[in-house]
Structure 1
Amino acid sequence: MDLRQLRYFLAVAEEKHFGRAAQTLNIVQPALSMQIRALEEELGGALFLRTSRSVELTEAGKLLETEARRTLEQAEFARRSVERSLRGETGTVRIGFAGNAIFSGKLMRDLRLFRQHYPDVEMILQEVPAQQQVEAILAGQLDIGYTPDHSKTLTGGIQVQRIGDWKILVALSDEHPLAEHPQLTVEMLSGEPLILYDAHDTHEKLYLMLSQKLKHDLRIAHRSDSSLSVLAHAAAGLGLALVPEPLQQVNIPGLVYRSLNDSEMTANLLMISRDGETKGAIKAFLLLASQDASLMTKV
């Protein structure tokens, strides 16, 4: 017994006539009659009382009519559910973010865009330190990560897309002597206690560039995996924080931002995910976010 036989059976039950049912199904009547006979043989009895003028359901036929409708409705529901899943219209996307993702506006823009196109997909947001995102994605605890570049993003099995670049600013206490200058140079940072976002470990571009430019005068006083913690240290006068330009939106009493006269000192934002992702909702999110990043680049 298959779905096609059930559809044929219901057509005959509704039309009460093999000829009209065959026309409705757009098949020849002998083929329809053969399928109904095969169904009756499989079930072990008659489903219709046939006369020269009409066809009526037997008691067994009436029972099958109810169950056949239920089965076909469930099959249609299953088909639609799978199709929606494959199109990315249902499911869950778990997103980890760190650093500049929120303040840059990129994460918020991606979330709103995805919600507009896929309103039935559940999105779960979680702040996750940059270097923990890769492990969480590979372990299946996260699906997508927004993170600055760091050494672990080169891990096998991780897909990486660069989605943003910004200038580096210096955040410092308004009582610091350097706050009098509207623009700072790297040389002015010599010997000063610096505060870095923890993603920039010894393998990172920012740290290496500072090492090359300041050499023995490089002094890292604090590291943190929280953007607000970095700014709080700077506002308290515990050092100079090197932060991406979008963080200047954060207004903390006693904290000021100064531009850095060095075009090489930049911060980036990556979107990372699993290689060979198969879940429809995750693939749809990655596609929309990638298209948005491409449009931003062109502008």
Structure 2
Amino acid sequence: MDLRQLEHFVAAADEQHFTRAARKVNIVQSGLSASIRALEQEMGAPLFVRTTRKVELTVAGRVLYEKAQEIIAGIKEARRAVAAINGLERGTLSVGTCGSLHAFFDLPQLLGEFHAQHPSVEIKLCHGTATKLMESVKDGSVDIGFFPLYEKSREIVTIPIASDHLVVVHPMGHPIAGRENVPLESLAEETFVDFQPDKGTRKIVDRAFASTNVSRRSVLEVGDIQVLLDLVAYGFGIALVPKTFACARIAAAKSPKLGVVTLKKPHIAWDLVAACSGRAGAAQTRNPAVAAFTKLVEKIRSDAIAA
């Protein structure tokens, strides 16, 4: 049994005439008759009483007619629902982000533009660490995530949002003040204020030290960039942070102040990305809202580069 057979059957029942029913569904009468005969064979019962003037439903035909109408109506509703999703007349978009990314891009503005274009799509926003967001993007529980890329993975596809490098921030009066191009190895004896282990920046820093076989001592681990910078300024230790964060803090001219020195090249890269699942049938192809949002992300990024 297929949908066309049911449509042919319902048309014949409604018209009570095979010729008129065939015209209604736009096939030849012989084709409609053959379709209904095949349906009768599959159902194992005659569905019509045929006369020269008209056809009428049998008892079995009346039972099937009610069910067929329900099936056809359900399929039409399913088609409308899918069309609505594809046309972004409905649907959901789940977005994940790390904290303190406003220094690099305006996520509320981005979400606002998407909502203005597609007001019927429900937006779900969550916050998490880079580690958690990476896993959520991979398993599909988050459609698109914004976080520092601490490792490459075939399970995700990324759109570059911003590129930065890490610098050393230190309290005023620290012996390192005024130096330039400081080797990472020379920081082995320093005391560090660090991000928590599941933060993307922390993973980038850990990997950089591991690559040089240098260990360091962390006295405090925090989850917020402003708290980290305050602790450094109050003399708890030094830290490695993206240059943009350090410059923004200095420009704010808030007390207590801190200093910044650069690391010896090659710099430790810090890249902010928008990430989607890279698996077959991934979110950006399964969910049209993700594809639309991704295009908006790419457009805003292109506009920012052009400016």
Both proteins in one fold, TM over 0.5? yes
Match of 1:270 in 2: 273
Distance 1:50 1:255, change over 3 A: farther
Match of 1:227 in 2: 225
Match of 2:161 in 1: 163
Distance in 1 between residues matched to 2:129 and 2:44, nearest whole Å:
65
Which of 280, 284, 295 is equivalent to 2:303? 295
Distance in 1 between residues matched to 2:98 and 2:89, nearest whole Å:
26
Q: Amino acid of the residue matched to residue 230 of structure 1?
A: L
Q: Amino acid of the residue matched to residue 144 of structure 2?
A: I
Contact 1:146 1:271 in 2 (8 A): yes
Distance 1:221 1:243, change over 3 A: farther
| Root mean square deviation of aligned Cα | 4.6
Deviations 1:9-31 (A, max 9, x none): 11112222222111111211122
- Do structure 1's residue 110 and structure 2's residue 110 form an aligned pair? yes
Match of 1:57 in 2: 57
Contact 1:169 1:245 in 2 (8 A): no
> Following TM superposition, by how much is the alpha carbon of 1:69 offset from its aligned partner in structure 2, in angstroms?
0.9
Distance in 2 between residues matched to 1:142 and 1:42, nearest whole Å:
45
Equivalent positions of 1:196-235 (< 5 A) are 199-201=200-202, 203-204=204-205, 224-233=222-231
Equivalent positions of 1:2-21 (< 5 A) are 2-21=2-21
Distance in 2 between residues matched to 1:266 and 1:108, nearest whole Å:
26
Query: SS of 2:126's equivalent?
Result: strand
Contact 2:204 2:270 in 1 (8 A): no
Q: Give the % identical residues.
A: 29
Deviations 1:56-100 (A, max 9, x none): 333332222211110112223334445556677766544332244
Contact 1:130 1:225 in 2 (8 A): no
Q: Amino acid of the residue matched to residue 11 of structure 1?
A: A
Match of 2:133 in 1: 133
TM-score of the pair, normalised by structure 2: 0.66
Q: Which runs of 5+ in 2 are unaligned?
A: none
Q: Which runs of 5+ in 1 are unaligned?
A: 179-183, 212-217
Q: Amino acid of the residue matched to residue 52 of structure 2?
A: S
Distance in 2 between residues matched to 1:186 and 1:162, nearest whole Å:
31
Match of 2:46 in 1: 46
> Following TM superposition, by how much is the alpha carbon of 1:49 offset from its aligned partner in structure 2, in angstroms?
3.3
Query: SS of 1:126's equivalent?
Result: strand
Q: Amino acid of the residue matched to residue 57 of structure 2?
A: L
TM-score of the pair, normalised by structure 1: 0.68
> Following TM superposition, by how much is the alpha carbon of 1:114 offset from its aligned partner in structure 2, in angstroms?
3.5
